[in-house]
Amino acid sequence: MVGSLLPKIDIDIENTVAFVCGPPIMIHFVILDLLRMGFGENKIITTMERRMEC
């Protein structure tokens, strides 16, 4: 779901840092989408949450 929204957003990639938090499978696919959009690995910050209760 999150990954399907990213390409629809007008983002200034040069001046943006992406922070990704969530379960490992979501992080994996969101990072792939961000890389396809042109984000460098140094512009993607992640934190893994295995037991989110939201």
Q: What is the pLDDT of residues 3-46, one digit of tens each?
A: 678 878 899 999 999 999 888 888 999 999 999 999 999 999 99
Give the count of alpha carbons within 13 A of 47, CB side only. Answer: 5
More confident residue, 38 or 53: 38
Question: What CA–CA distances, in Å, run from 12 to 19, 30, 39, 44?
Answer: 15, 17, 10, 14
Determine, yes or no, domain membership for 41: yes
User: What values do phi and psi take at 15, rounded to 5?
Assistant: -115, 25
What total of structural domains would you count in the chain?
A: 1
More confident residue, 50 or 20: 20
pLDDT at 43: 97
Amino acid in position 19: F
The length of the chain, given as a count of residues: 54
Determine, yes or no, domain membership for 54: no
Q: Which domain holds residue 18?
A: 2-48
Token pair 């910050």 in the structure block, residue: 45
pTM score over 0.85: no
